[in-house]
Amino acid sequence: MKKLALYLITFSLFSVFLASCKKESGVEPIEPEPPVTEEEELSFPAKEMRAVWITTAWGLDWPQSDYSIESQKQQYIAYLDKFSELNINAVFFQVKGMGDAFYTSPYEPWSVAITGTRGKDPGYEVLKFMIDEAHARNIEFHAWMNPYRIATRASSGTPYPALHSSVDSKWVVSHEKIQIYNPALPEVRERLVDIVKDLISKYEVDGVHFDDYFYPAPSAAGQMVPDQSDYEKYGAGYSSIEDFRRGNVDNAIEAVHNMIVATKPGVVFSVSPAAGRDYNYNTMFADVAKWNQEGWVDIVIPQLYQEIGNQYNDFQTNLIWWSQNSHKAALMIGHGYYKFGDPTAPAAFQSAAELEKQFNLTRKNSKVVGNAMYSARYVMLNKVSITDQLASLYKNPAVMPFVGRAVAPAPAPVQNVKIEGNSLKWSASGDVRSVVYYFSDLKKKGEVFAITRDKSIEVSNKGYYSVSTINSDHAESVPSDVIEKK
C-alpha cells in the first residue's frame, strides 16, 4: 500500500514522542488512532441482481401472438438489448406456464404461445437461442416455471385441452376454471422433479424460478374440487387438512431443491411468493418462511406490487416482514412495474417517483440484494417515463451478488495494475471477468466503471481505479490497491 511505510514510521516516532512527554510532565496523553489506509477508506458499491420477468402465458410479453420465427427472435433481442442498455443483469423467462414447454420435453407439449397450436414444434431451438442471446450480453437466464398449472378456462362450459400422452389423468384435478397437477400425490412431486431435472440437464440455465401459484385460490379457480379423500389417503401425521396441504407443497419444494443440488449445484433456485404472508400460508398453502429457514430456496422474491402507504398491503410493511423472514435465502424485491401509468392504478403509480422511493427503501435494507420488474413489455412502453427513472436508478453497471452454491474455483486477484496514458491495464488468470471500480474521491463511495473479460480499458476521468475479478458463481476476489489517474 503506497504511503503505508511512511505512515508507520510517522506513527512510531509520534508514539515515542508521546511516551517521553508522559514521563516528563506526568500528564496522561491522548493516544493517537492508527493511520487509516486507503484500503480501509474505500467504500465499494453494493452488489445487485437486477431482473425482469418475461411472461409467456397467453403470449403476454413474448411472443405477443407473433408466430414468425424471425420476428420472434428480433422481438426477444430487442428486449435484451434494452435490458443491457439499462444495466439489467438477469431475466426470468417463463418456460413452463401452462403445463407446457418452450423446449423439446418428454413430459409436456410445446407451448401454444409459440406457434398458435399447442404441441406444434416451432422449427427452431427456442430455449437455446434465448439462453445464448442472454449470455452473450452477460445477462443471466433463469427458467421460470409454474409448478402445477396445466390450463385455464373462462367457465366449465369450455373443455380443457387434451393432456400430454405422458400424463396420467389420475394425477390431474380439473377445477371449474383451472386444471392443475394434484399437489397431494407423490407421483406429481416426482414428475415435477423429473421436469426440472430434464431442463437443467439439457440447458445452461442459471436458475430455476417458481412463481406464486401452488394450491389454486378459490377466487381464481371458481368451484373447487374437494380434497378430503386425498387427506384421508395421504394425510397421516398431519393434524389438519390445511397442514396437509402445506406439507405437500413443502415436500415438492424440498425435493426440487435437493435434486438441483445433487444434479447441477450451480443452478440457483428461486421463488416469487405473493406479498402477504397470510395469503401465501392460508390460500396458496405455501409456508415460504419455512422454505427460507430450511435453506430450500436460494432467492426469495416477494411480489410487493402495492404502493408505499397502501392501506391494506403497504409496500414498506411487507418489506420489513420479508427482511425479517428471508432467513437463509437471499432477498430480492419484485416491483409492480406494470402499474405505472395505468389509469386504474392508485395515484402513486401515476408518477415514476414512486419507484425511486421504493428503491430507496430496498437499498437501505441490508437484507435486499436486488430488484425484479414485472414485466418486460412495460419496460419498453415507458409509461410516465418509468423506464427513464429505471435508467437513472441503474446508471452504472452492478456486480451480481453471490447466491446459491460455490462451484467454480475461487477467483485470483489481478496483478500488475497500471495506467499508461488513457489505458488502465492489468493481468488476470482463469475463467473470470474483471470489475473496474472508479472513485472520484477516496472519501466517497465508488461506482462500477465496467465489467469486462478484457484486461485493459480506456479511462479518461481523473481519480482512482481498483480492479477485482469475479468467477461464474459471482464470487469476487480481493480488489487491487487503487491506482490514481492524474
Residue 188 CA to its chain's centroid (Å): 27
What does residue 38 show for φ and ψ, rounded to 5 degrees? -60, -35
Do 311 and 455 have their domain in common? Answer: no
pTM here is 0.91
Do 200 and 138 have their domain in common? Answer: yes
Q: Is residue 401 part of a domain?
A: no
- Give the per-residue pLDDT at 95: 98
Q: In terms of residue numbers, what domain contains 327? A: 49-393
Q: Is residue 398 part of a domain?
A: no
pLDDT digits (tens, 9 = 90+) for 258-313: 999 999 999 999 999 999 999 999 999 999 999 999 999 999 999 999 999 999 99
- Give the per-residue pLDDT at 219: 87
pLDDT digits (tens, 9 = 90+) for 325-380: 999 999 999 999 999 999 999 999 999 999 999 999 999 999 999 999 999 999 99
Backbone CA torsion sign across 193, 199, 202, 207: negative
Query: Which has the minimum average pLDDT: 9-13, 74-78, 448-452, 457-461?
Result: 9-13
The average confidence (pLDDT) of the chain is 92
Residue 54: name the closest of 37, 69, 75 by CA: 75
Residue 262 CA to its chain's centroid (Å): 22
Do 361 and 430 have their domain in common? Answer: no
Cα–Cα dist 478/411, whole Å: 9
Report whether pLDDT(171) > 60: yes
- Give the per-residue pLDDT at 16: 35
Instruction: List the grid coordinates of 447.
Output: 461506482
Query: How many CB atoms within 10 Å of residue 272?
Result: 22
Residue 484 CA to its chain's centroid (Å): 35
- Give the per-residue pLDDT at 40: 57
Do 185 and 248 have their domain in common? Answer: yes
Query: Which has the minimum average pLDDT: 30-34, 61-65, 206-210?
Result: 30-34
- Give the per-residue pLDDT at 407: 97
- Give the per-residue pLDDT at 41: 77
- Give the per-residue pLDDT at 295: 98
Do 175 and 218 have their domain in common? Answer: yes
pLDDT digits (tens, 9 = 90+) for 193-211: 999 999 999 999 999 999 9
Residues forming a β-bridge with 180:
149, 173
Report whether pLDDT(12) > 50: no
The separation between the first and the last C-alpha atoms of the chain, rounded to the nearest angstrom, is 18
Report whether pLDDT(146) > 80: yes
Q: Could you tell me which residue, 36 or 295, shows the higher pLDDT?
A: 295
Last residue of one domain, picked from the residues 361, 393, 425: 393
Please tell me what DSSP assigns to residue 274.
Answer: B
Q: Looking at the 3D structure of the chain, how many domains does it have?
A: 3
Report whether pLDDT(76) > 70: yes
Do 387 and 423 have their domain in common? Answer: no
Q: Is residue 406 part of a domain?
A: no
Q: What angle do CA 89, 386, 335 make, to 5 degrees?
A: 60
pLDDT digits (tens, 9 = 90+) for 226-263: 999 999 999 999 999 999 999 999 999 999 999 999 99
Are 304 and 275 spatial neighbours (Cβ–Cβ below 8 Å)? yes
Q: Is residue 291 part of a domain?
A: yes
Do 198 and 340 have their domain in common? Answer: yes
Do 135 and 29 have their domain in common? Answer: no
- Give the per-residue pLDDT at 258: 98
- Give the per-residue pLDDT at 49: 98
Q: Is residue 175 part of a domain?
A: yes
Q: Is residue 209 part of a domain?
A: yes
Give me the CATH number covering residue 455.
2.60.40.10
Inter-CA distances, 146 with 151, 165, 339, 476, 484, Å: 11, 20, 23, 33, 51
pLDDT digits (tens, 9 = 90+) for 419-437: 999 999 999 999 999 999 9
- For 161-217, where are the alpha helices, taking DSSP H only? 186-202
Q: pLDDT band at 404, cuts 50/70/90?
A: very high
- Give the per-residue pLDDT at 22: 35
Give me the CATH number covering residue 268.
3.20.20.80
- For 205-240, where are the alpha helices, taking DSSP H only? 218-221, 228-234
Do 18 and 147 have their domain in common? Answer: no
- Beta-carbon-side half-sphere exposure of residue 282 (alpha carbons within 13 Å): 4
Residue 93: name the closest of 208, 217, 173 by CA: 208
Do 183 and 239 have their domain in common? Answer: yes
Do 109 and 230 have their domain in common? Answer: yes
Do 320 and 452 have their domain in common? Answer: no
Mean per-residue pLDDT for 97-114?
97
Mean per-residue pLDDT for 42-54?
98
Mean per-residue pLDDT for 415-419?
98
Q: Is residue 235 part of a domain?
A: yes
Q: Is residue 433 part of a domain?
A: yes
